[in-house]
Every structure is written in C-alpha cells, then in structure tokens.
Amino acid sequence: MENLLVQKYGGTSVGDAERIKRVAERIKSYYENGYKLVVVVSAMGHTTDELIALASQISENPPKREMDMLLATGEQVSVALLAMALHEIGVNAVSFNALQIRIRTDSTFTNARIEKIETERLLQNLEQNKVCIVAGFQGVDAEENITTLGRGGSDTTAVALAAALQAKECEIYTDVDGVYTADPNKVKGARKHEVISYDEMLELASLGAGVLHSRSVEFAKKYGVILHVRSSFNFNKGTLVVPEEQMMEKLLVSGVTLKTDEARVSLTDIPDRPGIAAEIFSALAAQKINVDMIVQSTGKDNKNTISFTIPAKDLRQAREILELLLKQWGTGSVSFDENIAIVSAVGVGMKSHSGVAASMFRALADRGINIEMISTSEIKISCVIAKDRGREALQVVHDVFGLHEL
Ligand code: ADP
Ligand code: ASP
Ligand code: MG
C-alpha cells in the first residue's frame, strides 16, 4: 500500500501517560498528512522487566508458556491506552492484540518466530480510515497459545507487519536519534550513522547493539523493508537501514558492540572421536539453545576440550543436558563461566582489508585485557574477555578504529 507507514514506539517512548499523549500527537500529524498508519507499541517503560521479577518471586523456573501469558499483558495495556489517547484528540483508532490479527508463530515460548500474519482485519480497518494499533512482541501458535518473540521483539512485529502489508517504510521510534557507532549511553564519542547496511546492522544487533531486535533486521533484509530508526522525542532524520548496494561508502569498521548476557561452557577430557561434537550440539539444539562461539583444541591422548558460549539464561538447561552426556561417555568434566563479555567490531570494509583483527588485539593487549576466545566472519571480529573489563574494552576498540571521527 503506497501511503502506508508502519511505526513502532518502544517502551521509553510510551513510558507514562504524558508520553503516550505525545506519541498520539505525532501519529495525528502523520494521519492528517494523508498517511494510513499501523502502529506497533511495546510495554510501558520497564513493565516487562517488572513482570519477569514478579514471576521470579513465585517460581525459580516458571513454565515458559505461562511466562508468555504474563509478559504479553504489558503490550496489551499500552495499545489500549494509545488508542484512547488518539480518540481524545479526534483520531479514530482501534487496538489489536496478536490473537485478533492472527500473528502466527511457532511454539517456542519466550523466543517464538513469526510464521504468518493475516492482514485482512487490518486492511479492513485501514480502509475505514482507522489507525490500527498493534501489540508488539506477542504472537499465537497453532493451538492459540500466547507466545512472545524474545526481548526487544516488538521491532520484529513492526517489520513483519510492514512486510506483510507492503508498507512504504517502517519507522522504529526509540530513545536515541538512530544507530550509532556504539551504544551512545556507554561510549564517549559514539557517532550516528546516516545509513547502514542490512548485513552490518544484523551483525551489530546479534552481537549486542540492543537498538534493534536482530530478527527484525533479518525480516527487513528478506522482504526489502526500508527501516528508519529515529527518536520519538524530536523530528530529526534518524538512520536508514538499506541494502549494501545503496551504501556509497564502505567503512572498515562501522560499529562496536558489547554483549554481557552470554556464558562460557568448557568440556574437558572428553573423548576425541568422530561424532562427539555432533552429539553435544544436537542435544543443545534440540532444546533450542543457541550456541555462539565454538573453540576446539587439538586432541591429545584421545582426549579433547571444547569451549563455547551460550545465553546465560540457558545455563541451567545446558548443565542438565551436558551432565547426561558426560555420564554416557563415562569421562570428562564440564565447567561454566558467567564472568565473560564479548566485544566485537563490525564492518563490510573488512572484506577487503587485512590487519583489522591485529589492530583490535593490539589495542586490547595495550590495556592488559586478556582475550579468552576469538571468532571472526567476513564482516566481524569478536573477542571473549573478562566481564569486568567489558566497558573499557568497548571504548578502547571504538577509539582504535577512530570511530569518533566518522
Ligand atoms: P526501545 O524501548 O525503544 O525499543 P531499546 O532500549 O530497546 O529501546 O533500544 C534503544 C537503546 O539501544 C538505546 O537507548 C541505546 O542505549 C541502545 N543501543 C545499543 N547499541 C546502540 C547503537 N549502536 N546505537 C544506538 N543505540 C544503541
Ligand atoms: N516489551 C518487550 C521487552 O521489553 C518487547 C519490546 O520492548 O520490544 O523486551
Ligand atoms: Mg527495543
């Protein structure tokens, strides 16, 4: 639809009644300029964190299905309030939850994937000139259980809707002016990008740049949705996320990130024979545990060591799986370390330049920061370091690539 805009407002942007009213005014200005609007909202402020904390007072390990039932309530509050605020200023708006517009997902509770969205009801309402307000972050599975898309998942709801409705653009309104070379709340001298490629944004998002949910970027790339990340507190142009071909300049390093919610698992003295790695990683994958960096040392005396990182929240489950395997093999031991952080540098220019990794390693070494694991791809370098050196490492890597001067 030519004049259709999808807008998404994050938690801070709808943090209290005053802010919700301000968002309503912004929506009204687009509405009066002739746009059709589908607006996705997150839960107010820290609601999702508060709900998680509440659940933990009841149970140490709540059933994931019930967790999603609880978490989805946050977004249902904000869609209703925003629709009311729009009515107050004379804009016809209607709110929907995921069940009402059938945002179909798989059944991976707390981290579900969107499979299909039915657009019929939204299109009907848009035709009647209503602004459609949709609850972000939630979905329904084939049995009509409520699911959620993983923390930060409202971005993905917005992009999936933009793709399904063939919107002109998907605007992500947040509390910063766009995508920066590093988290501007953590790094001195971080600079805003005018444009960034899908691939770089995808790496940045999966490596810890919380400004966009990584699956939203995957969707945007797959369906060619133009993403515009901007602030809900001003009218400045933000950052456009576009295909790499549209980038005039290919930066050597376009961003650095820090991830602090991963843990390292080390399996030592395990059998050195074909099939062992397959056994470990199939068992983890069967429980939907995402493994990131993997390092295997050279075997000795028919014994081997494999280390890898997983999300810290999955440690308990991983421990159960791995201890079972060790028992079956009758040898080896497992240890866990939550005291790690992953610092990464990302840039499409790395494809054609050497020496980027060396500069990063040197900069960390000069500060006496020990590198515990390394992983690289065509456009990124990641190092595992001690958690308490994380912030310093982030700044140091940002400085060494001169990103404050972009
Ligand atoms: P919202 O609630 O609007 O979805 P988020 O907290 O999820 O907001 O994302 C915005 C935050 O992302 C910013 O406040 C900023 O601290 C953080 N952030 C991390 N990395 C970056 C980056 N490279 N550029 C911009 N913001 C970033
Ligand atoms: N409210 C959810 C969260 O805090 C989803 C989102 O904000 O995107 O993770
Ligand atoms: Mg977010």
Domain ranges of the chain: 4-175
Distance CA 371, CA 368 (A): 9
Predicted pLDDT at 79: 98
Predicted pLDDT at 364: 98
- CATH code: domain 4-175 is 3.40.1160.10
Distance CA 202, CA 136 (A): 20
Structure tokens at 266: 């080390």
Predicted pLDDT at 246: 84
Question: Which of 9, 13, 48, when mutated, tests ligand 2's pocket best, judged by the most ligand atoms within 8 Å of its CB?
Answer: 48
Pocket of ligand 1 contains residue 190 by CB under 6 Å: no
**Nearest ligand, CA of residue 42?**
2
Predicted pLDDT at 353: 86
Tell me the residue length of the chain. 406
Pocket of ligand 2 contains residue 174 by CB under 6 Å: no
Q: Is the dihedral of CA 52, 54, 56, 59 positive or negative?
A: negative
Question: Which of 171, 176, 177, when mutated, tests ligand 1's pocket best, judged by the most ligand atoms within 8 Å of its CB?
Answer: 176
Phi, psi of 115 (to 5 degrees): -105, -35
Pocket of ligand 1 contains residue 176 by CB under 6 Å: yes
Return the ligand 2 atom nearest residue 11 CA. Answer: 7
Return the ligand 2 atom nearest residue 75 CA. Answer: 1
Phi, psi of 249 (to 5 degrees): -120, 130
Pocket of ligand 2 contains residue 15 by CB under 6 Å: no
Distance CA 11, CA 330 (A): 49
Q: Is the dihedral of CA 179, 234, 51, 100 positive or negative?
A: negative
**Nearest ligand, CA of residue 14?**
1
**Nearest ligand, CA of residue 229?**
1
Note down pLDDT in tens along the chain; length 406 residues: 779 999 999 999 999 999 999 999 999 999 999 999 999 999 999 999 999 999 999 999 999 999 999 999 999 999 999 999 999 999 999 999 999 999 999 999 999 999 999 999 999 999 999 999 999 999 999 999 999 999 999 999 999 999 999 998 999 999 999 999 999 999 999 999 999 999 999 999 999 999 999 999 999 999 999 999 999 999 999 999 999 888 877 788 999 999 999 999 999 999 999 999 999 999 999 999 999 999 988 878 889 999 999 999 999 999 999 999 999 999 999 999 999 999 999 999 898 888 999 999 999 999 999 999 999 999 999 999 999 999 999 999 999 999 988 7
Global pTM value: 0.94
Q: Identify the H or E element spanning 217.
A: helix 214-223
Region of 285 (left: φ > 0; alpha: ψ -120 to 50; beta: rest) is: alpha
Question: Could you tell me which residues come within 8 angstroms of residue 358 by beta carbon, excluding any fewer than 6 positions away?
Answer: none
Nearest to 321 by CA among 292, 280, 369, 371: 280
Pocket of ligand 1 contains residue 203 by CB under 6 Å: no
> ∠ CA(340), CA(341), CA(347), 5° rounding?
150
Question: Could you tell me which residues come within 8 angstroms of residue 49 by beta carbon, excluding any fewer than 6 positions away?
Answer: none
Predicted pLDDT at 298: 81
Ligand 2 center–CA 86 separation, angstroms = 22
Distance CA 284, CA 279 (A): 9
